[in-house]
Amino acid sequence: MFLIDTHIHLYLDDYHKDRDLLIKKAYKKNIKKFFLPNIDTETIDPLLELTNLYPKKCYPMIGLHPCSVDDNYIKKLKVLESKIEKHNFIAIGEIGIDLHWDKTFKEEQKKAFIIQIEWAVKYSLPIVIHSRNSFNEIYNILKNYTNLTGVFHCFGGGIDEAKKIIDLGFYLGIGGVLTFKNSDLNKVIQRISLNHLLIETDGPYLAPSPHRGRRNEPENLLIIAKKICEIKDISISKLTNKLYLNTNSLFCHEKP
Ligand SMILES: [Zn+2]
């Protein structure tokens, strides 16, 4: 069995010089597949080019990142929606609400989130959620749906939020935050079952310690995996098997 990075923006320019090498290095560390969340309309082409180049390694998602929601969001959503039936997207993502930096488009962010949730329902796809300072807003929308599943990517909340997410039938996407000194995420991981976890790098962002602040690379996924093994006192092979099952039950990435 092997590890899957369930959230990495490998198509971004940050990787353009050494992408191939990074994928090979990760492969040697048993990280063999990468799920690519979209951000905006202009990232669709580079994302799809990469998945065409690495058809059994890189898998595409489609969605408008909440920080890309602006006055023009309806037009952007139309462009994205027109792609759904033409490609084998494994999820709608990343989508959500981000109220950390800028609340100007709060209402538009909510509307865009709901429109994209409706795509997920229509096409029976999971959603990949970006949530920042917006857990309640997101939770209040999700609780209206019974036929929806997905992952809270880059989860950094406390045990109460974790339990609410699990009760919704969603997964927690665990990334570099787990390794940060000022994070209590390890205590949350201690208290919840492996059944609800996925792992991700969110590269090029959010590099784990000791690489914090630098470009996040695919092989750093192993740092996160090892940290979970430490917390749960299990072997890397046991964790790898479990995460593989979780990932496969959420994403149908082997569809033709
Ligand atoms: Zn992301």
Distance in Å, CA 93 to ligand 1 centroid: 9
**Of 127, 135, 132, residue with least CA distance to 160:** 135
pLDDT of amino acid 253: 67
DSSP-derived 3-state class of residue 79: helix
Distance in Å, CA 237 to ligand 1 centroid: 26
Distance CA 7, CA 170 (A): 15
End-to-end CA distance of the chain: 21
Beta strands per DSSP E along the chain:
3-5, 31-36, 58-60, 92-98, 127-132, 150-152, 171-174, 197-199
List Cβ neighbours of 137 (8 Å cut-off, separation of 6 or more). 97, 99, 110
> Count of H helices and E strands in the chain?
9, 8
Distance in Å, CA 181 to ligand 1 centroid: 22
DSSP H helical ranges for 42-157:
44-53, 73-84, 106-123, 135-142
List Cβ neighbours of 29 (8 Å cut-off, separation of 6 or more). 3, 219, 222
Distance in Å, CA 159 to ligand 1 centroid: 22
pLDDT of amino acid 233: 98
pLDDT of amino acid 194: 98
Distance in Å, CA 236 to ligand 1 centroid: 25
Distance in Å, CA 138 to ligand 1 centroid: 17
Distance in Å, CA 255 to ligand 1 centroid: 23
Which amino acid, residue 72? N
> With contact defined as beta carbons under 8 Å apart, do 51 and 23 qualify?
no
Residue 25 has φ and ψ, to the nearest 5°, of -60, -40
Distance CA 141, CA 74 (A): 19
Distance in Å, CA 211 to ligand 1 centroid: 18
Residue 153: burial class (beta carbons within 10 Å; 0-12, 13-18, 19+): buried
pLDDT of amino acid 101: 87
- pLDDT tens digits along 178-231: 999 999 999 999 999 999 999 999 999 999 999 999 999 999 999 999 999 999
Which residues of the chain are under the pLDDT cut of 70? 253-256
pTM for this predicted structure: 0.97
Distance in Å, CA 65 to ligand 1 centroid: 8
- Give the CATH fold of the 3-250 domain: TIM Barrel (3.20.20)
